[in-house]
Amino acid sequence: MRTALIGKVVKSEGWDFATNIEKAIADGHPDIQKLKDFAERITGFRIE
């Protein structure tokens, strides 16, 4: 279901996923780029 919503034109501008991504990096998530891509699609802003 989450992926279905991300595929729609639904944005949550102003959300900050940086802390979530930092935690995922610290926890050894296997696909950080995918998380960054999801965050960009949700917020409309690129996370470096």
CA distance 37 to 48: 10
48 falls within a domain: no
Domain assignment present for 9: yes
Question: Strand, coil or helix: what is 45?
Answer: coil
Does the residue 10 lie in any domain?
yes
Please report the pLDDT score of residue 1 as a whole number: 47
Q: Which domain holds residue 32?
A: 2-43
Q: Rounded to the nearest 5 degrees, what angle is found at the Cα of 14, between the Cα atoms of 10 and 16?
A: 105
Query: What's the total number of domains in the chain?
Result: 1
Q: Are 47 and 40 in contact (CB under 8 A)?
A: yes
**Which pLDDT band, with edges at 50, 70 and 90, does 10 fall under?**
low
Which residues, at least 6 apart from 29, have a Cβ–Cβ distance to it below 8 Å?
Answer: 35
Mean of pLDDT values over 38-46: 85
Is 39 inside a domain boundary?
A: yes
pLDDT at site 31:
97
Residue 21 lies in a domain: yes
